[in-house]
Copies of this chain bind each other. A is one copy, B any other.
Amino acid sequence: MNTINKRLAALRAAMKTKGLAAYIIPSTDPHQSEYVNDYWKIRTHFSGFTGSAGTLVVTQNEVALWVDSRYFLQVTKQCKDSDVTLFKQSIPHAPEHIPWLCDVLENNDIVGVDYRQFSKSQIDYLAENAKAKNIKIKNDEALIDAIWEDRPQLPTNQVVHQPILFSGESTQDKLQKIQANINKEQADFYLISSLDEIAWLYNIRANDVDFTPLVISYALVGKTESYLFCNKNRFDDTLLKTLKDDHIIVLEYDALTEKLPTITSEKTIITDPSSLNYSCFDAIKGTFIYQNSLVKELKAIKNEVEIANAKKCMEKDGVAMTQFFMWLESEIQQREISEYEIGRKLDGFRQKQANYKGESFSAIVSYKNNGAIIHYTAPKEGSAMVKNDGLLLIDSGAQYQNGTTDVTRTVFLGKTATADEKKSFTLVLKGYITLETIQFPKGTVGMQLDSFSRMHLWKQGLNFGHGTGHGIGSYGMVHEDAQGFATSMTTSRGSEVHKENQFTTIEPGFYKEGAYGIRTENVVISYIKQTTSYGDFIGFEPITLFPIDTRLIDFNLMSPEEMDWLNSYHKKVYNTLSPMLNAAEKEWLLDKCKETSN
């Protein structure tokens, strides 16, 4: 029996013992994190699927892996030898498996979950769907532990302070904003379980999850005293003192459910039901006030220091990208290089930059037809060999202590791109430019803007199957749960208003199955571009600095305004990066940034 099927058999046996007709395994941890610590990679353990989003629903008859279109091909590949079946979500992140599950279950069946992996909203939604058939939900926080042999341990690495030099705002000032809200709502506490919100609020960082400098913890902000639930031995004395000065008491991570009832007894607690895990919710006996997360809202607006640092990061990233692509262009003339090696090499150039902390996500280096697999990861062994021919898509980014980067470039290797490749690339580029150069009244949400990135593809009967952008953190999460661009209101990317001083990616793409993938992505900063009697109008400025491959542009399809954009962007890239480059690099970049016309 294949390993995955063996694990599934053990899970089903345990479910039977416990009387569970179904068990739901989301991809998240108790903090609703996108990237999770190995301890919480339960879904990967039981399905073999390594993608970042997807839910596994196991019954005695079905092993249903629900993923959105980004992962269809990946699931097909990774799950082909096991009993895991691909279930296609039509809307990313929508809980489409819930109505399905309630449909396949019988009356009075019991669904098992680990409350820690679900938000209050998610459990409420499950309960609502389960009502008609009187399906019961049972919390079992021990089931997985019992059947997962050699389960990894939770992290013990050192927690570090993020200095004001990079954060731009003291913990005290941040806490004051939360405390003002507590007072306004006549509440006593503000409870946070999102790791990136805690990292931002308390100005702390660690390496607890992949690609993101987060600290596995809970934060309980009080009117004067606040708490951080995180093992004390992970802090040095200096940081403990810093926290103490900010009236933050450090308690053990595991003590949360024991301490919460006492601390919050007969108190009023503000929390965001979309992120608070249901185990916490269940433990608290006080009164709740539900609010959209204030921390998320504050964090999404970057301060001047964060903005200045982000710009510096983008320069470092641009230098690394220049050195890398210069190396690639030369090396590929000599030999075939694997996608995997290319990814490592790019990271190698970034590592030489100051304040480098690691990749901000698993880099996507996808050659030719692999490019059409939207969230492709080149395996360490046996990844495709890249030749000096065809399209190569590289989506990558890094964590620096002063910022987070995320950039995609599609480049042409070889002599001449085909007319079809050029047309597709140009339509994507036009979509990027249209969205990046638009300005719109304050109050506009991502769903109203997303179509600008698609209109040129749509006109040719083409489209792409992912959102067009996301918020990005400041030495934080590469995908912030904040503003962005999406085709629906079911994610914050579609539903959130764009405000000034936010970092957002713009990343339209086009994917031709079996042939190639194209994506062009910059991080942009939003600002008030114009104020008239019709209000404030927000616009974007790109802060990512690396040239677009002009050999892939069909200049006949470009409008004069689009040509102006291209030349002015390239001028900015060259002028900003060249002082940091050596003579050869300068010359190489100058050629890539040279003025073009149609």
Contacts and interface: CB of A to CB of B under 8 A. Distances in A.
Contacts of A537: 458, 461
A487 interface: yes
A437 to B, nearest CB: 8
Interface in A438-454: 438-441, 444, 447-452, 454
B461 A532 contact: yes
Chain B CB within 10 Å — which of A452, A458, A535, A537 has the most?
A458
Interface in A460-493: 461-463, 487, 489
Interface string A414-454: 00000000000000000000000011110010011111101
A455 B307 CA distance: 28
Contact of A448 (B439, B451, B459): B451
Interface residues of A, number: 27
A455 B458 contact: no
A378 B118 CA distance: 58
B441 A463 contact: yes
Interface in A483-510: 487, 489
A336 B461 CA distance: 52
Contacts of A441: 458, 463
B461 A530 contact: yes
Closest 10 CB pairs of A and B: A461-B532, A461-B530, A463-B534, A448-B451, A440-B458, A461-B537, A441-B463, A462-B534, A439-B458, A489-B489
Interface of A: 438-441, 444, 447-452, 454-455, 458-459, 461-463, 487, 489, 530-532, 534-535, 537, 559
30 contacts: A438-B455, A438-B458, A438-B459, A439-B458, A439-B459, A439-B461, A440-B451, A440-B454, A441-B463, A444-B451, A444-B487, A447-B447, A447-B448, A448-B448, A448-B450, A448-B451, A449-B451, A451-B451, A451-B452, A452-B455, A458-B537, A461-B531, A461-B532, A461-B534, A461-B537, A462-B532, A462-B534, A463-B534, A463-B535, A559-B559
